[in-house]
Structure 1
Amino acid sequence: MTRCSQLALLARYNQWMNDKLYAAAASLPPEAITRDTGAFFGSLLGTLNHIVVGDTLWLQRFAGHPAAFAALQPVLEIPRPASLDGLLFAGLPALQARRQLLDHSIISLGAELQEEHLDFALSYHNTKGVAQRKNFHAVLLHFFNHQTHHRGQATTLLSQLGAEVGVTDLLALIDDIPAS
């Protein structure tokens, strides 16, 4: 499996899990998803907003790659989030619409990636304005790991609120290899 095919798998997993999380969240009353549960971002809605904020910031940074990925053009039209913990959307439907736009861009980016793109040194500024220069492939791995980390928190919150998410393992998306 190439690095690009691994990243495309992570993009599919991201979309699959987000669909599951938002379906589970939609089964709850609005006051449940906005209730402060003591989580790092306060509520389930706060946690889901943070994932959208992080994804937006990273995808906008990825647009600085000289490959000029067409998949990232819609994300460049989104205003840059002001903070990592701000609520971009106060309700689930608008947040879900943004999530779907981002997930479509991530899937499309995965389809555009080529091995030669991955060893590029990506330059960007972090949220504190500090210049960074990091290996693009490694940053993509961080991007997917960040999503997984916070989706784990969201899954816990959903469970505590009484919603069922179901299977969450990446393994569910990995094809079986037929015996030879």
Structure 2
Amino acid sequence: MDLPSNFKIFARYNQRMNDQLMRVCEQLTTQQLHQPTGAFFPTVMDHWNHLLFGDLIMLRRLVDNGVVNIDAQTMASLPVARTVNDSFASNLTELRALRALVDRIFLDFTHELTPEMCNRPIRYTTTEGQVLERDLGAFCQHLFNHQTHHRGQLTGVLSQFGLDFGCTDLPVIVPDGDRD
């Protein structure tokens, strides 16, 4: 499998898992969404906001490198990620709308990827001020790994609430032939 095909699967998996976990979180009360959990991020909403932080900052880097093209209106509607503790949504309604938009952008982006593009270098500055240059393929691998890592933390928290978040297996979530 080539990298663009792999990233299309990851983008679809990302979208579906975010929706699946969002539906599970809708079973929580507002108080539960904001109560301390003792996890890496203090609350369920903090987990979701950090996922958005990573996605938004990496999306901005892709736009700045001319890899992702977003119309001005959509770009203006996206919050700017500045620090790892940024909050972009205080409730699930806000979160669902923003999450759906960002997930759609990543899906569309992966459909435009080519093997040649994955070898293209991109340059960006980390939140710590370090300037990095990485191949687009390695950057995308980090993007999707970051999402999966933190959703794993979120499922741990949801387990503490006694919620069933369902299957998280990629081949079940994105079956063969369901990659578009």
Query: What's the TM-score, normalizing by structure 2?
Result: 0.90
What's the CA shift string for 1:148-176, capped at 9, x where partnerless? 00000111111211222100011212428
Query: For residues 58-77 of structure 1, what are the structure 2 equivalents within 5 Å?
Result: 58-66=58-66, 68-70=67-69, 76-77=75-76
1:85 alignment counterpart: 85
Change (3 A) 1:75 1:138: farther
Matched, 1:108 2:101: no
What's the CA shift string for 1:127-167, capped at 9, x where partnerless? 12221111110110011000000000111111211222100
SS where residue 134 of structure 1 aligns? strand
Does the 8 A contact of 1:33 with 1:44 survive in 2?
yes
1:143 alignment counterpart: 143
CA separation in 2, counterparts of 1:165 and 1:72? 35
CA separation in 2, counterparts of 1:61 and 1:161? 36
Partner AA of 1:36 in structure 2: P
CA separation in 2, counterparts of 1:82 and 1:64? 15
Change (3 A) 1:13 1:138: same
Change (3 A) 1:72 1:170: farther
Aligned CA RMSD, in angstroms, stands at 1.7
Query: For residues 1-180 of structure 1, what are the structure 2 equivalents within 5 Å?
Result: 1-66=1-66, 68-70=67-69, 76-77=75-76, 78-172=78-172, 173-175=174-176
SS where residue 133 of structure 1 aligns? strand
Change (3 A) 1:69 1:142: same
SS where residue 63 of structure 1 aligns? helix
Worse-superposed segment, 6-15 or 158-167: 158-167
CA separation in 1, counterparts of 2:29 and 2:116? 47
CA separation in 1, counterparts of 2:71 and 2:164? 32
Does the 8 A contact of 1:60 with 1:72 survive in 2?
no
Aligned residues: 175
The structural deviation recorded for 1:57 is 0.3
CA separation in 2, counterparts of 1:28 and 1:46? 14
CA separation in 1, counterparts of 2:166 and 2:73? 31
Worse-superposed segment, 93-102 or 74-83: 74-83
Change (3 A) 1:55 1:8: same
Query: What's the TM-score, normalizing by structure 1?
Result: 0.90
How much identity, in percent, do the aligned residues show?
A: 33
CA separation in 1, counterparts of 2:54 and 2:87? 12
SS where residue 21 of structure 1 aligns? helix
Partner AA of 2:146 in structure 1: H
The structural deviation recorded for 1:10 is 0.3
The structural deviation recorded for 1:51 is 0.2
